[in-house]
């Protein structure tokens, strides 16, 4: 049998409508985490006071 490799494969970037996930580089302990980036659901508009009657 062949031995398992010690090299971790790079996971491709995951994309959806409002979310993007990327793999972080491994730490000295070998833990590989993921970075999550959220896109805003709606745009924020500056408030203007309504006209007085």
Question: pLDDT 10s digit of each residue in the chain, 53 long?
Answer: 677 777 767 788 889 999 999 988 878 887 778 899 999 888 889 999 999 88
Question: Total structural domains in the chain?
Answer: 1
| pTM across the whole model | 0.54
What range defines the domain where residue 15 resides?
11-40
pLDDT at 46: 93
pLDDT at 12: 86
Beta-carbon contacts of 32 under 8 Å, excluding residues fewer than 6 positions away, are: 8, 23, 24, 25, 26
Q: Are 23 and 32 in contact (CB under 8 A)?
A: yes
pLDDT at 8: 65
pLDDT at 47: 93
For residue 22, tell me if it sits in a domain: yes
pLDDT at 37: 92
Q: Are 10 and 24 in contact (CB under 8 A)?
A: no
For residue 18, tell me if it sits in a domain: yes
Residue 33 to residue 21: CA distance in whole angstroms: 10
For residue 45, tell me if it sits in a domain: no
For residue 34, tell me if it sits in a domain: yes
For residue 1, tell me if it sits in a domain: no
């Amino acid at each position: 049998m062949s031995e398992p490799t010690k090299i971790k494969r790079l996971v491709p970037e995951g994309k959806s409508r409002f979310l993007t996930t990327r793999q972080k580089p491994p730490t000295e302990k070998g833990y590989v985490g993921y970075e999550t980036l959220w896109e805003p659901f709606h745009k924020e508009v500056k408030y203007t006071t309504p006209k007085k009657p």
